[in-house]
């Protein structure tokens, strides 16, 4: 009886369009579009709010300054929007480079057993070391700044996606049409670009979206610790690092609003990636 009721409920969801996964995906996309609009607008807002104004320093949140002001009288809302804009583009660039590395290694591993063993060894090596330590070392070795952060994040976030793509490539490699292409004299590069890569596109899209929140969190973390972006740049990590000196004075808004805004961005992209993965996954797709 209970099984019959559950089956009836699933069928009613399918025909009435009340599937929670689809709704969650639509809501997360709408929320990200709104957030993206705010982030883009934040890049073009009037920078007068970033000017030093000692007459308005240390003001708590109000209608005039929604996020309050800092110890120099700068508007925290504008600083937060600028920081989110910077974090967003760093995350996009670092996640893109990580995806390129992952797909390159996954296709390379399918050429022969020797290259596959090398790629597997590299995956195990990078996954055996905590991200934050490797990221700090790479960023410090490259002199920090935007270049050091982007390259550091890109070089530390590819192993997990590479492992998933490698398994997918090995499965595709066993298909009959791959053998037919080889018998027709097609090069492995041609097979990779015409047969393997198109099948990996859904996983690449989901992988990029799921890598994005990790990238911006780690960027903020090493910047907060002093190994990332320079203090002149309006990064969220810089804002949080500076706010630590004033929390004991009761200026809670200096850390709360920037940190909470960053967590919202991370949460939305994580929800989007997870729901999109459920839709793309054939096993979960049959339940929609």
- The rounded distance, in Å, linking the Cα atoms of 39 and 33 is 10
- Per-state percent for the chain, helix, strand, coil, to nearest 5: 75, 0, 20
Which residues lie closer than 8 Å to 74 by C-beta, 6 or more apart? Answer: 49, 50, 51, 52, 53
**Would residue 137 count as lying in a domain?**
yes
276, 284 Cβ separation under 8 angstroms: no
Q: Does residue 288 have a pLDDT over 60?
A: no
Q: What is the mean pLDDT of residues 92-104?
A: 89
More confident residue, 12 or 220: 220
**Would residue 69 count as lying in a domain?**
no
Host H or E run for residue 45: none
**Would residue 9 count as lying in a domain?**
no
Q: What is the pTM of this model?
A: 0.77
Number of domains in the chain: 1
**Would residue 12 count as lying in a domain?**
no
**Would residue 186 count as lying in a domain?**
yes
- Burial pattern 29-40, b for ≥16 Cβ within 10 A else e, equals eebbeebeebbe
Q: What is the mean pLDDT of residues 110-123?
A: 85
pLDDT band, residue 246 (cuts 50/70/90) = confident
Among 13-17, 167-171, 172-176, which stretch is predicted with the lowest mean pLDDT?
13-17
More confident residue, 46 or 191: 191
What is residue 171's predicted lDDT score, i.e. its pLDDT?
A: 81
What is residue 1's predicted lDDT score, i.e. its pLDDT?
A: 47
251, 239 Cβ separation under 8 angstroms: no
Average pLDDT, the chain: 78
For the chain, the maximum distance between any two Cα atoms, rounded to a whole number of angstroms, is 78
**Would residue 51 count as lying in a domain?**
no
CATH number at residue 224: 1.10.3720.10
Q: Does residue 198 have a pLDDT over 60?
A: yes
Q: What is the mean pLDDT of residues 218-244?
A: 84
Tokens representing 168 are 């997918």
Digit-coded pLDDT (tens) for 173-192: 777 777 777 777 777 777 77
- The rounded distance, in Å, linking the Cα atoms of 271 and 277 is 10
**Residues in the chain, overall count:** 288
226, 241 Cβ separation under 8 angstroms: yes
- The rounded distance, in Å, linking the Cα atoms of 236 and 91 is 13
Range of the domain at 234: 20-45+74-282
Among residues of the chain, what percentage have pLDDT more than 90?
A: 1
- The rounded distance, in Å, linking the Cα atoms of 281 and 203 is 9
Which residues lie closer than 8 Å to 253 by C-beta, 6 or more apart? Answer: 60, 61, 67, 68, 76
**Would residue 2 count as lying in a domain?**
no
**Would residue 159 count as lying in a domain?**
yes
Among 149, 33, 35, 32, which Cα is nearest to 93's?
A: 149
């Amino acid at each position: 009886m209970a099984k019959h009721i559950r089956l009836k409920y699933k069928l009613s969801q399918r025909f009435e369009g009340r599937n929670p996964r689809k709704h969650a995906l639509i809501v997360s996309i709408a929320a990200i579009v709104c957030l993206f609009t705010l982030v883009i607008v934040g890049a073009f807002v009037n920078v007068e709010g970033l000017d030093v104004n000692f007459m308005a320093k240390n003001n708590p949140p109000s209608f005039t300054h929604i996020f309050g002001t800092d110890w120099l009288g700068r508007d925290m809302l504008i600083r937060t929007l600028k920081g989110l804009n910077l974090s967003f583009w760093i995350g996009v660039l670092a996640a893109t480079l990580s995806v390129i590395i992952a797909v390159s290694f996954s296709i390379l591993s399918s050429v022969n057993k020797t290259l596959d063993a090398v790629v597997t060894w590299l995956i195990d090596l990078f996954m055996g070391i905590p991200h934050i330590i490797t990221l700090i070392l790479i960023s410090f070795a490259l002199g920090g700044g935007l270049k050091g952060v982007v390259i550091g994040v890109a070089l530390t976030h590819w192993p997990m996606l590479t492992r998933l793509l490698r398994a997918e490539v090995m499965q595709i490699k066993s298909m009959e049409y791959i053998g037919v292409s080889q018998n027709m004299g097609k090069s492995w590069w041609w097979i990779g670009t015409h047969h393997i890569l198109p099948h990996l596109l859904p996983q690449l899209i989901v992988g990029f979206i799921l890598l994005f929140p990790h990238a911006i969190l780690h960027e903020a973390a090493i910047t907060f610790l002093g190994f990332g972006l320079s203090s002149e740049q309006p990064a969220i990590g810089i804002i949080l690092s500076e706010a630590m000196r004033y929390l004991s004075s009761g200026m809670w808004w200096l850390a709360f609003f920037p940190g909470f805004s960053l967590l919202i961005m991370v949460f939305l992209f994580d929800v989007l990636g997870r729901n999109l993965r459920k839709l793309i996954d054939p096993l979960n797709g049959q339940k929609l």
